[in-house]
Amino acid sequence: GQQLNQSPQSMFIQEGEDVSMNCTSSSIFNTWLWYKQDPGEGPVLLIALYKAGELTSNGRLTAQFGITRKDSFLNISASIPSDVGIYFCAGNSGGSNYKLTFGKGTLLTVNP
Amino acid sequence: GAVVSQHPSWVICKSGTSVKIECRSLDFQATTMFWYRQFPKQSLMLMATSNEGSKATYEQGVEKDKFLINHASLTLSTLTVTSAHPEDSSFYICSASRTGYRSTEAFFGQGTRLTVV
C-alpha cells in the first residue's frame, strides 16, 4: 500500500526560529494536506495543495506540492510557543477514493 | 465554516458493553465520513469509510461486526464499539468531506477518548 515518510520525527527549537518538515511518498499523490494536532484534540487543517508545484501560504506557514507529486514540505517561520504540537502530512491519490494516507507526524517543541 | 463535532469527547465503559460515538457536520453536508483510530504518539489509522445511505467500507483487519458504522444522514455518522474490551481503548477520530467541494479536504472532529475497564 501507499506509504508516507515524514521527517523529522521531532524537533526542538527556540522561539523565533524557522522550522521545516517534509513528506515523501512511494507513489504519486493528487492532493497534499498538512494538519496540526494538539494533545487530546482532532487534527486541524492548515494548508491544502492540489497542483504539482503549488506553493501556498497561511500566515507564517508555507507549504509546497512537489513537482514530482511524490513530496511536500511545510515551513513555519518565526515560531512561537503556540506552534507546539504534532504536524501531519496527508495525501490522496485521487479518483473516487477520498481516503487520506497520513505520515507519522512531526512533534514540534518550541522553547520560549 | 466546516465544523465537525464529535460526541462524547471521552467515555469510560465496562468490558463487554457497547459504546456509541457520534460525528456530526454542523454547517455542511458530508457525503463521506471517515473513522480513524489513534494510539498514543502514533499517526491516524483509517478504520472505515462511511458513505451516506450505504454500507461502510472497512479497512483490512478492522472487524466490521465489532465496529458498527451507520451514516443515516448527510450530517451524521455513528461508530458503535460493540462488546468493548480493554484493547479497544484508544482515541477515535472522525472526519468529514464537504459535498460539492474538494472532497479530499477533510475536517476532523475533536476525537473521543475511549477507556474500557
Q: What is the pLDDT of residue A2?
A: 63
Q: Taking CB atoms and an 8 Å limit, are A40 and B42 in contact across chains?
A: no
To the nearest whole angstrom, how far is the Cα of B117 from the nearest Cα of chain A? 20
Q: What is the pLDDT of residue B18?
A: 97
Q: What is the pLDDT of residue A100?
A: 87
The minimal CB distance from A92 to the residues B44, B104, B107 is found for B104
Q: How many CA atoms lie within 13 A of A75 on its CB side?
A: 12
Residue given cell 492532493 in the structure block: A31
Inter-chain CB pairs, A–B, below 8 Å: 59
To the nearest whole angstrom, how far is the Cα of A92 from the nearest Cα of chain B? 7
Q: What is the pLDDT of residue A98?
A: 73
To the nearest whole angstrom, how far is the Cα of A36 from the nearest Cα of chain B? 11
Q: A35 to chain B: which residues are within 8 Å by CB?
A: 108
- Cis ω for the linkage preceding A43 (within 30 of 0): no
Q: What is the pLDDT of residue A95?
A: 63
3-state helix, strand, coil in chain A (%, to 5): 5, 55, 45
To test the contact with chain A by mutation, choose from B32, B43, B62 the residue with the greatest count of A C-beta atoms within 10 A, namely B43
Q: Is A98 on the interface with B (CB under 8 A)?
A: yes
Q: What is the pLDDT of residue B1?
A: 67
Q: What is the pLDDT of residue A84?
A: 96
The minimal CB distance from B108 to the residues A31, A43, A50 is found for A43
- Cell of residue B116, nine digits: 474500557
Q: What is the pLDDT of residue A82?
A: 95
CA B35, A70, A50 angle in degrees (round to 5)? 65
CA-wise closest residue to A49 among A34, A36, A67, A37? A34
- Greatest Cα pair distance, chain A, in angstroms, is 45
Per-residue pLDDT reduced to its tens digit, A50-107: 999 999 999 999 999 999 999 999 999 999 999 999 999 999 887 656 788 899 999 9
CA-wise closest residue to A37 among B83, B46, B42? B42
Other beta carbons less than 10 A from residue B77's beta carbon: 31
To the nearest whole angstrom, how far is the Cα of A48 from the nearest Cα of chain B? 7
Q: What is the pLDDT of residue B30?
A: 85
**Regions of chain B where pLDDT drops below 50:** none
To test the contact with chain A by mutation, choose from B31, B37, B44 the residue with the greatest count of A C-beta atoms within 10 A, namely B44
Q: What is the pLDDT of residue A97?
A: 62
Q: B41 to chain A: which residues are within 8 Å by CB?
A: 107
Q: Is A51 on the interface with B (CB under 8 A)?
A: no
d(Cα B72, Cα B66) in Å, to the nearest integer?
Answer: 19
- Average pLDDT for A10-33: 94
